[in-house]
Amino acid sequence: MSRLRALAALFIALLLWQLGAVAADSPTLPGPLTVAEAGAEMLASGDLLADILASLSRVAVGYSIAAVLGVSLGVATGVAGRGGEPIRSVLELLRPIPPIAWVPLSILWFGLGDKAAWFIVFVGAFFPIYIQVALALARCPPEWLELAKSLQASSRLTLLRVRLPAAAPQIAAALRTGLGLAWTSVIAAELVGAQSGLGYRIQMHRLILETEGVMVGMACIGLLGFAMSGAASRLEKTVIPWR
């Protein structure tokens, strides 16, 4: 039933979009049928698929690095308690800087291309993952820790059997949040610092005033982001059934 309501809402939104495009009668507001035709042509030429794969590959690299470092450092500082405060303080200072603000530095450091995009994706995903993981490990219920201590569990066993299972739902949520931010970050990086990818394609169509091409890129970003979020949620339900 919920899927039917979602499909009905989508149909109404597309219908209103088409009616608005007909009423405006402007090349800057193409209707969904025009955008779909442009998307089909771009797919047939292979350009759209190549850009999609380029963006996804950059997200895969940058996000993987951010996930490994974010979870590892978050677990270490979360378990360390006050001992991890210096690291948390430094990262809290850097966290408010948005990924787009790092683009000029990434271009200076790595030039145009994949390395700069990997860095921007890493920056976008790392901080939310690290902060949420560190908080999840630090907020383990104290009665659980006391129980583990009373059973003479070692620090390693307490981490593996108590802290990590208790924090697993929050860690999964952090990874899902980081994935969403990684996806938006790579698009921002590609708008100004890449020569391929969906962000680059949107910028190129903007420069030649092809609004339908811009909207095709935006639609792909939304659909792929939605698909990644759904896949992450299903994986979370499988890996962490107790959440």
DSSP state of 186: H
Place of tokens 């959440």: 243
**Residue 239, both tokens:** 């890996």
pTM confidence score: 0.83
Beta-carbon contacts of 37 under 8 Å, excluding residues fewer than 6 positions away, are 212
Residue 41 burial by CB count (10 A; 0-12/13-18/19+): exposed, middle or buried?
A: middle
**Nearest CA to 48 among 39, 35, 57?**
39
Torsion of the alpha carbons at 55, 229, 65 and 220, rounded to the nearest 10: 10
Which tens digits make up the pLDDT trace of 137-170?
888 777 777 777 777 777 777 777 777 888 888 8
What's the pLDDT at 83? 66
Q: Which residues of the chain have pLDDT under 50?
A: none
Handedness of CA 117, 121, 123, 124 (dihedral sign): positive
What's the pLDDT at 1? 64
Domains of the chain: 31-239 (1.10.3720.10)
Residue 90 burial by CB count (10 A; 0-12/13-18/19+): exposed, middle or buried?
A: exposed
What's the pLDDT at 71? 92
What's the pLDDT at 5? 81
Cα distance between residue 197 and residue 194, in whole Å: 7
